Structure 1
Amino acid sequence: MKKLGRWARAGAAVAALALLAACGTSGSGAQGSGTGTVKMVLWPGPEGDAMAKVVSAYNNGQGKKDHIKVNMTLLSRADTFSKEATLMTSKSADFDVYFTASYLVAQHAPYLVPLQKVDASAYFPTAAKSLQVGGKQVALPLDVSNHFLFYRTDLITKLQSDPAWKAAYGRISQQLLGQKMTPKAPADWTWNDFIATAAFFSKKYNPTSPTKFGTALQAKNLLYNAMIWDDVLWSYGGNWLDSSGKPALTSAAAKSAMNVYRTVYTKGLTSPDSSQAEFPETQAALTSGNAAFAVQWAAGYADLDNKTKSPTTAGKIGVAPVPGDKHMTHVHALAVAINKYGKNQSAAAKWMTYLSTPEAMTTYAQAGGIPAMPKVLSAEKAVNPIYPFVARDLASNSFSEPALPKTFDIYSMLAQNLSGAWVGQGSTQEALEKANSDLAGLVGQ
């Protein structure tokens, strides 16, 4: 219990979060008594399961002191946001707390009460900032999602030490990239290192490779795959928008990012099925020993390192930052926010204050959530060994795409316009020009 005591002491400072909603900002004027029932929406799955533990702890502890009970409703994972959109636009008071995310918060903002005095130092700055709209903190971070380079430590260690493998690597990199390269540690990889190593571990270029393909590319027309491609774009110094807010998808950085995907796919460094691949297919490629490494969501690590689920890879998966001249990972945060038209906003604000404490987020982490508090993650390595890596990379190598009213639509548009060119279909230039034009329409340029 000493761990919780330490968090309780730290919580004295963090209590300054005081996430009380601004008085007088409600569209309905219904602040409520500050007691009673708080109705909250979340979606099912690991986040809902973890939050159930926090809700129970609150209802049986601090909630009794606050005279508040939290009731959580889990909507369909596929339909939560669409159902919330209907509730929001009708100015419904059915729920006091909505579920939101970085990629939807600007769209939801007109229906939410901005939070006050959020101490961003308790959170990953990228996560907290991703939930700000117009300079105001609109939602409270819960889980963070980001990417890593997961790689076979046994294979990469041999590549860096075996003279014959190193010589073959030099020949293959010369053949594919026009330069004789030397194997590096994955933490130091540029995208050329990624491509050269993928070629070495592909039987097309190295018939003796222990894996059929070097990597697994998530190239399906899917908005979440666009988030991974953004890692490459940002690593080259790119962005959706330039410094003046104009679309920038025809930049040199965007062209370089497209070339990475196109090279990996068209040169046969990933399975042809990658054109229809996302998270599960990437997991399968790694667990089967079919690929030596891949950029993957953090959530994939626990199963890859599980002896029962992944006997081929368990104990042999290394974790490195996403490659690039700048090692950048996309971050988005799942979050909760107060309904502007809710009947019990004051009580909802007290519940949110509790959620902002390390004590609550420790419970959340121990139940399987990935809270946006670096100290909590670092302390809970025993729950999931990926937590310290998340704490490391989000502190220095992370970004969140612009929070715009149509951010969610932009991801979908990018996947729609670019996924074909990722796998060699059509012209890269034409795909980027179409994406740039569509982006202009979505941001009102």
Structure 2
Amino acid sequence: MFTTYRSRLMQAIVGGAILAGAQSLSFGALADTTLNALFMAQAAYSEDNVRAMTADFEAANPGVKINLEFVPYEGLHDKTTLAQGAGGGYDVVLFDVIWPAEFAENKVLLDVTDKVTQEMKDGVLPGAWTTVEYQNKRYGLPWILDTKYLFYNTEILEKAGIKTPPKTWAELLDQAKIIKEKKLAEFPIVWSWAQAEAAICDYTTLVSAFGGSFLDADGKPAFQTGGGVDALKYMADSLDAGLSNPNSKEYLEEDVRRVFSSGEAAFALNWTYMYNMANGDPKESKIVGKVGVVPAPGVEGKSEASAVNGSMGLGITSTSKHPDEAWNYIAFMTSKAEQEKFAKLSLPIWADSYSSPAVTTGQEALVAAAKTSLGLMFPRPTTPTYQQMSTQLQQAIHAALLKQATPEEALKTAAESAGGGL
């Protein structure tokens, strides 16, 4: 997911004014406490942003120091589990919405259900809590609330005579065909379909639109039938028609951002962070002021729109020697004031924030899309063996996109391979 630039904010913040959903917590801690925290070197908040937030925390808590480590998303899971197996190393870790089941079963994260304050329970959006929950327990606090949106180049659509962005996935292909025929973009659509979790997120968005399921009522694979097959057929057909950029098969989200921000694509499916980078940062984009955003489309007769749950949480490892100080740190990082300060990078988890000018000003279109999309976020399966299932699906998607198998054949093979471990 991504690189952003922002000046470091070094102004000290007084503890009580910062907290909103954590007012009852005291940020005082024992002197000379050092916490080790593992974050992602991409997506939503950049390294500079995380360092700025952490500097705010350290200024309000002079007895606590935070050692920050950043790794790419693709290395975040294994870095966390390997450190745990070696006897610790981290106090706080960033984790994806797809990992709580595994991390809970393997006792990687502390159950913090009893630490969650009433203010947090009442103030955080209900859907955000699903990011950190497993079997009615909470294993951290939601931090990055995210889904994928359909971004479009308003100038290209205007030149093509297209008055409104697509509301269905079929209409997206129709509009892309017009744009291609008018030579306004060689490949109008760009995706992140590299053999990685990125492809699963795009696929999940389409599965939700086509009314598919990953698992049946017995917990067995169901993606090889119905909407799961329709979603993969759609992906393959868009490549065959020359409407999707063929390099999408090797792209991650940052590649999508660069192609879209250069003006080469009319449409892109990507996370929240791309909106302000592409639409408002001339150092990063050639199409500033020309970016539209709407919920990912639906399928006629099946859905009005579609969305994937791409959120992430902050948790405390079970091997942490300083769990109280670690809790104070993640409560601060997820607090309403800190989230609103950086709302141009990631939309807040707090319900009240969506009526705050600090959040809405300058990104009214994004907030409007979010009000629909955040209520539709479709989950990837909650299972302790998710990594195995994801790997099988990634291979199936690529087999179909590379024409090594039909979508039906590829997904059938994946279901047979993953089924035994689910």
Same fold (TM over 0.5): yes
Q: Which residue matches 1:171?
A: none
CA distance in 1 between counterparts of 2:307 and 2:232 reads 17
Relative to structure 1, the CA distance from residue 148 to residue 200 in structure 2 (aligned partners, 3 Å threshold; closer, same or farther) is same
CA offset digits 1:340-392 (Å, max 9, x no partner): 222222232333333443123334547x5554335446533458777625642
CA distance in 2 between counterparts of 1:293 and 1:330 reads 18
Q: Where in structure 2 are the equivalents of 1:426-437 lying within 5 Å?
A: 426-437=405-416
Q: Which amino acid aligns with 1:59?
A: E
Verify: 1:58 aligned to 2:33, yes or no.
no
Relative to structure 1, the CA distance from residue 123 to residue 213 in structure 2 (aligned partners, 3 Å threshold; closer, same or farther) is same
Q: Where in structure 2 are the equivalents of 1:237-256 lying within 5 Å?
A: 237-256=211-230
More RCO (CA 8 Å, sep 6+)? 1
CA contact (8 A) 2:147 2:307 kept: yes
CA distance in 2 between counterparts of 1:189 and 1:247 reads 29
Q: Which residue matches 2:3?
A: none
SS in 2 for 1:426: coil
Aligned match of 1:41 in 31, 37, 43?
37
TM-score normalised per structure 2: 0.81
Relative to structure 1, the CA distance from residue 354 to residue 285 in structure 2 (aligned partners, 3 Å threshold; closer, same or farther) is closer
CA contact (8 A) 2:294 2:365 kept: no
Aligned match of 1:88 in 81, 84, 92?
84
SS in 2 for 1:60: helix
CA distance in 2 between counterparts of 1:229 and 1:371 reads 25
Verify: 1:104 aligned to 2:99, yes or no.
yes
Q: Which residue matches 1:403?
A: 382
CA contact (8 A) 2:128 2:311 kept: yes
SS in 2 for 1:50: helix
CA distance in 1 between counterparts of 2:75 and 2:206 reads 30
Relative to structure 1, the CA distance from residue 18 to residue 237 in structure 2 (aligned partners, 3 Å threshold; closer, same or farther) is farther
CA distance in 2 between counterparts of 1:18 and 1:397 reads 32
Aligned match of 1:307 in 275, 282, 291?
282
> Between the two proteins, what is the percent identity of the paired residues?
19
Verify: 1:135 aligned to 2:130, yes or no.
no
Relative to structure 1, the CA distance from residue 245 to residue 121 in structure 2 (aligned partners, 3 Å threshold; closer, same or farther) is farther
Q: Which has the larger radius of gyration?
A: 1
CA distance in 1 between counterparts of 2:351 and 2:159 reads 33
Q: Which amino acid aligns with 1:213?
A: F
Verify: 1:287 aligned to 2:261, yes or no.
yes
User: What's the CA shift for 1:190?
Assistant: 1.2
CA contact (8 A) 2:192 2:248 kept: yes
CA contact (8 A) 1:142 1:334 kept: yes
CA distance in 2 between counterparts of 1:15 and 1:414 reads 39
For structure 2, list consecutive stretches of 5 or more residues without a partner in the other structure.
1-12
Q: Which residue matches 2:111?
A: 114
Verify: 1:420 aligned to 2:399, yes or no.
yes
CA distance in 1 between counterparts of 2:125 and 2:190 reads 29
Once the two structures are overlaid, the 10-residue window that deviates more, 338-347 or 302-311, is: 302-311
Relative to structure 1, the CA distance from residue 342 to residue 214 in structure 2 (aligned partners, 3 Å threshold; closer, same or farther) is closer
Relative to structure 1, the CA distance from residue 348 to residue 286 in structure 2 (aligned partners, 3 Å threshold; closer, same or farther) is closer
TM-score normalised per structure 1: 0.77
Q: How many residues align?
A: 392
